[in-house]
Structure 1
Amino acid sequence: MSDPRTPGWLSRVLGDRSTPPPAERRVVPQARPTPLTRDRVGDALSEHGYHFRTDEDGDLTGVWNDSRFWFLLLGEQREILQVRGRWHRQLPVASRRAVTLALNDWNRERIWPKLYLREEEGELAIYSEVSTDLEHGVTAEQLDQLISCGLGTGVQAFASFDTLLPPQV
């Protein structure tokens, strides 16, 4: 009988636990976390070849799958990274109850991203957020993972709403 395999994503997080690590295995020192900066976020986005710009508020922003995303540094020391997305569609205010129920279902069943609704200029806008406190710094690998999580889960959430709601709700 073969050993059960750990799912791919879990084995990347936990490592292959099917055999104990060899005693002679050396511990590779990890990069030290360094302070979060807008330049570091921009460098991480550039390494992926993503197209983005700095908006009038000084925030990094770009469009992924037709939806706008921002990479915000919040907090007193600008130590909180928030990847915030805004769905490309707007909905009528009359659909607030149904949309709120759908958002609650999403938030109850998933960790990321947090989804919420805002009324803007007489219509409803759906936002996604993934926020992380990086008071003690962040490595390049961690920053890359947080950006990927914020973008990936935000795009996934918005794609889900694209399929749930007809084009002319």
Structure 2
Amino acid sequence: MSIDPSSIPNFGGQPEPQPQGPAGPVVPDQDLVKQLLDQMELKHLVDEEGDLVAPWEQFRTYFMFRGEDDQQVFSVRTFYDRPHKIDEKPQLLESIDDWNRRTLWPKVYTHTHDDGTVRLIGEAQMLIGMGVSIEHFVSSTVSWVRAALEFDRWLIEQLGLEGESGEAAQPEEGDGEA
């Protein structure tokens, strides 16, 4: 199964072409996501646990498949690396509650580490075990990546974190699949 390059929504704001692919439902896999990321011109690699990841300067977005058979789930999870102090957590919670009320994805939550730093995680999921249309899979995945980028920009603006950005990180030569 492959994705027609003209079907990939762009990041430039022009109208999005309609994906063309298999007529019936497909069960997406990591190779399909790699093709999609390649066509979106996003750098990616496979980590030591076998998960596909696209790194940016301030966060990493993972594309994971969990479960078996008809219960398989595709999860796009973004780990925002910017550390926040524990005393900033109430303001963070207020901000992400606002984000979660206003948007469909990613749903964002906090994780407090043992050292007292707070980090944010965004997540969106799709049940894929019975198959999904290629159009739905592509448009959802692209929307989730866009939303992960937008959340980082939005949070910088909300918290006044001037000078920080989530520009795409370029993996070093040889950092390909592990």
TM-score, normalised with respect to structure 2: 0.71
**Matching residue's letter, 1:118:** H
Moved more, 108-117 or 61-70: 61-70
1:93/1:124 contact within 8 Å kept: yes
Aligned partner of 1:155 among 149, 163, 167? 149
Compute the displacement of 1:30 (Å). 6.5
Shift of 1:122: 2.2
Secondary structure of the corresponding residue to residue 62 of structure 2: strand
The structure-2 alpha-carbon separation of the partners of 1:145 and 1:64, relative to structure 1 and needing over 3 Å to count, comes to farther
> Equivalent residue for 1:19?
none
Matches of 1:65 and 1:155, distance apart in 2: 11
Counterpart in the other structure of 1:115: 108
Deviations 1:74-95 (A, max 9, x none): 2233721111112231100111
Matched, 1:100 2:93: yes
1:43-71, CA deviations, whole angstroms, 9 ceiling, x for partnerless residues?
22122222100001100001246321100
Given candidates 133, 146, 159, the residue that maps to 1:165 is 159
Does the 8 A contact of 2:52 with 2:64 survive in 1?
Answer: yes
What residue ranges of structure 2 are gaps of 5+ in the alignment? Answer: 1-14, 163-178
Q: CA deviation at 1:124?
A: 0.5
Q: Percent identity?
A: 23
The answer (yes or no) to whether the contact 1:36–1:137 under 8 Å persists in 2 is yes
Amino acid at match of 1:38: Q
Q: Match for residue 65 of structure 2?
A: 73
Residue 59 (1) aligns with residue 45 (2): no
SS state at 2:95 partner: helix
Q: Residue type matched to 2:101 in 1?
A: R
- Tell me if 1:126 matches 2:108: no
Would you say the 8 A contact 2:68–2:129 is kept in 1?
no
Q: Which has the larger radius of gyration?
A: 1
Match of 1:5 in 2: none
Higher RCO (Cα < 8 Å, 6 or more apart) = 2
Q: Please, what is the CA RMSD of the aligned residues? A: 2.6
Note the residue ranges of structure 1 that are not aligned, 5 or more in a row: 1-10, 13-28
Structure 2 letter corresponding to 1:150? W
